């Protein structure tokens, strides 16, 4: 006969406090202002870089500025830093798919 | 008392299939991010097309880009990143319980978004006057190459689809502004505002990549 030990009691479902649900997502007002100023500064720098003779690097430089700006928006304005692991995974996959698609097409066109 | 009224106690209760309000909010955010992913894939396909045609028609693309109005493109970039800031400030104001802050921030966002659309329309009209239309309608004598035709077809498709997203975002934000005016975005519950603003940020992020590809190339 197997020794049957009683199962522990089911944990009771607890209700979250009614207030402060979104507090976990809080970002300070100062962070938003800094992010905005950074976005404007990066836009100006990208605009200025357009007039430099960068040759083949021009596209990479303009896309690097775009990547930096998108990172600021996603991390600060879209609160990805405060989101759950599942949301951060989905956000990361967005970048992976677009890079994979563009690089794959570029390699294919270059090979033909 | 009507469901959704700020004094309605049920507003602070989770739906039946969620154990806690925090769990419900997390699920809402994940759902919104999955929706945003589908949008990224939609635009990603167009960016992929751009990559392919740009490599194949490099000289034609470089020539065609010069025809786009870089001043309008840059001002529109500044307008959209500023609108992202004001939209984020609306969420910040909701957390602080400032109804006026929510409504004012969203009103500023709406004005900036409308400004973006007006400038886009001005740019489209400039193109139409030069015979630059999408696809088979294209009859530019200044840029007669097939590559230029492809560039502007992509330009109209990419920026047109983006403009539709701006219109959708502005419509959602207008509804959220009215709800804000009615005091529906409380410090405890403002998930709808957060989700609407997330969509607006995505519209901004897409433009952040459209701008260099359509205006800053040589």
Q: Do A105 and B52 touch (CB under 8 A)?
A: yes
Kindly report the CATH class assigned to B38-216. mainly alpha
Read off the pTM: 0.88
**Chain B residues in contact with A69 (beta carbon < 8 A):** 81, 208
Are A92 and A78 in contact, with CB atoms under 8 Å apart?
A: no
* Cα-trace Rg, chain B: 21
User: What CA–CA distance (Å, rounded) separates B49 from B61?
Assistant: 13
Q: What is the pLDDT of residue A18?
A: 38
DSSP state of A22: G
pLDDT of residue A28: 83
Residue tagged 């990208």 (tokens): A46
Hey, what are B34's tokens? Answer: 């999955």
A1 pLDDT exceeds 50?
no
* Angle (nearest 5°) at CA B82 between B216 and B99: 160
**Cβ(B29)–Cβ(A79) under 8 Å?**
no
Asked whether B162 and B207 are in contact (CB, 8 A), the reply is yes
B58 touches chain A (CB under 8 A): no
Measured between alpha carbons, how far is B51 from A106 in angstroms, rounded to an integer? Answer: 6
* Lookup: tokens for B45: 């396909």
Residue B70 pLDDT: 96
The tens place of each residue's pLDDT in chain B, 218 residues long, gives 455 555 565 667 778 888 888 888 899 999 999 999 999 999 999 999 999 999 999 999 999 999 999 999 999 999 999 999 999 999 999 999 999 999 999 999 999 999 999 999 999 999 999 999 999 999 999 999 999 999 999 999 999 999 999 999 999 999 999 999 999 999 988 999 999 999 999 999 999 999 999 999 87
Instruction: Say if B15 is an interface residue toward chain A (CB within 8 Å).
Output: no
ipTM: 0.91
Please answer whether residues B190 and B12 qualify as being in contact, where contact means their C-beta atoms are separated by less than 8 angstroms: no
- B197 φ/ψ angles, rounded to the nearest 5 degrees: -70, -35
Rounded to the nearest angstrom, the gap between the alpha carbon of residue A14 and the centroid of all alpha carbons in its chain is: 31
Query: Which residues of B are less than 8 Å from A94 in CB distance?
Result: 36-37, 40
Cross-chain Cβ contact B44/A98 below 8 Å: yes
């Amino acid at each position: 006969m197997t020794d049957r030990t009683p199962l522990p009691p089911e944990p009771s479902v607890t209700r979250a406090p009614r207030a402060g649900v979104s507090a976990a997502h809080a970002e300070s007002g100062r962070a938003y202002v800094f992010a905005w100023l950074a976005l404007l500064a990066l836009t100006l720098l990208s605009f200025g870089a357009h007039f430099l003779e960068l040759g083949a690097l021009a596209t990479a430089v303009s896309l690097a500025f775009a990547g930096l700006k998108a990172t600021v928006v996603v991390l600060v304005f879209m609160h990805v830093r405060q989101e759950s692991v599942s949301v951060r995974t989905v956000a990361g996959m967005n970048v992976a798919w677009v890079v994979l698609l563009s690089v794959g097409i570029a390699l294919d066109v270059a090979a033909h | 008392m009507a469901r959704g009224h700020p004094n309605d106690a049920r507003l602070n209760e989770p739906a039946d299939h969620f154990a806690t309000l925090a769990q419900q909010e997390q699920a809402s955010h994940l759902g919104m991010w999955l929706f945003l992913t589908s949008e990224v894939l939609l635009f990603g396909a167009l960016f992929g097309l751009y990559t392919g045609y740009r490599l194949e028609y490099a000289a034609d693309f470089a020539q065609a880009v010069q025809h786009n109005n870089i001043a309008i493109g840059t001002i529109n970039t500044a307008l959209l990143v500023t609108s992202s800031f004001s939209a984020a400030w609306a969420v910040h104001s909701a957390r602080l319980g400032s109804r006026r802050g929510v409504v004012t921030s969203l009103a500023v966002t709406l004005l900036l978004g409308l400004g973006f659309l007006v400038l886009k329309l001005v740019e489209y009209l400039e193109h139409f006057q030069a015979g630059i239309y999408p696809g088979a309608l294209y009859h530019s004598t200044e840029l007669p190459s097939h590559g230029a035709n492809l560039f502007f077809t992509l330009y109209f498709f990419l920026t047109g689809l983006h403009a539709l997203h701006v219109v959708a975002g502005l419509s959602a934000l207008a509804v959220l502004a009215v709800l804000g005016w009615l005091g529906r975005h409380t410090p405890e519950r403002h998930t709808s505002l957060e989700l609407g603003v997330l969509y607006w940020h995505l519209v901004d992020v897409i433009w952040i990549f459209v701008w260099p590809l359509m205006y800053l190339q040589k």
